[in-house]
Amino acid sequence: MRFFAFVLVVVLVGAAPVLAQEMTCPALVTLLLENARESCPEIGLNEACYATGGVVVEPRPEVRLDFGDPGDSVSLAAITALETQPFDAAVGEWGMVGLKPRANRPDGGVNLWLFGEARLENRSDAPDDLISLAGEVTWNAGANLRANPDENADLVAALITGQRVQVVGRTTDGAWLRVVHGDLTGWVLVTLMRVEGDLNLLKVMTADDPLPESLYGPMQAFGLRTGQDDAPCREAPDSGLLAQSPTGGDAVLLEVNGGLISFNGTLWLQTTDIGETVVSVLEGAAFYGDGQRLEQGQAIQYGFTGDRIIYSAATDYRFYRARYLPLPLLPREFELPFSLGGLLTPFTTGVGYLSTIPADGACTVGWSVDINLRAGPGVEYPIRRGIGSGFYGLPDGRALGSDGQLWWRLADDVWLSSANTASGGDCSVETVPLVLAPPLPAA
pLDDT at position 7 over 70? no
pLDDT of residue 224: 98
- Predicted TM-score of the model (pTM): 0.84
Does residue 74 contact residue 65 with C-beta atoms inside 8 Å? yes
Name which residue leads in pLDDT, 146 or 250. Answer: 146
Band of pLDDT at residue 196, cut at 50, 70 and 90: confident
Does residue 82 contact residue 119 with C-beta atoms inside 8 Å? yes
Average pLDDT over residues 135-149: 95
pLDDT of residue 16: 43
CA nearest neighbour of 250 among 178, 193, 293, 198: 198
Give me the percent of the chain exceeding a pLDDT of 90: 73
Phi (first) and psi of residue 428, to 5 degrees: -70, 165
- Structural domains in the chain, CATH included, are 15-128+217-329 (no CATH), 133-204 (2.30.30.40), 345-424 (2.30.30)
Give the Cα separation of 425 and 417 in Å (integer). 18
Give the Cα separation of 59 and 97 in Å (integer). 15
Band of pLDDT at residue 8, cut at 50, 70 and 90: very low
Q: How far is CA 442 from CA 106, 336, 380, 381, 439, in A?
A: 44, 20, 11, 10, 9
Average pLDDT over residues 359-378: 95
Band of pLDDT at residue 305, cut at 50, 70 and 90: very high
Q: 151-160, pLDDT tens digit by residue?
A: 999 999 999 9
pLDDT of residue 133: 87
Give me the percent of the chain exceeding a pLDDT of 70: 94
Q: What angle do CA 154, 158, 164 make, to 5 degrees?
A: 125
pLDDT of residue 417: 96
pLDDT at position 427 over 90? yes
Q: How does the average pLDDT of the chain come out, rounded?
A: 90
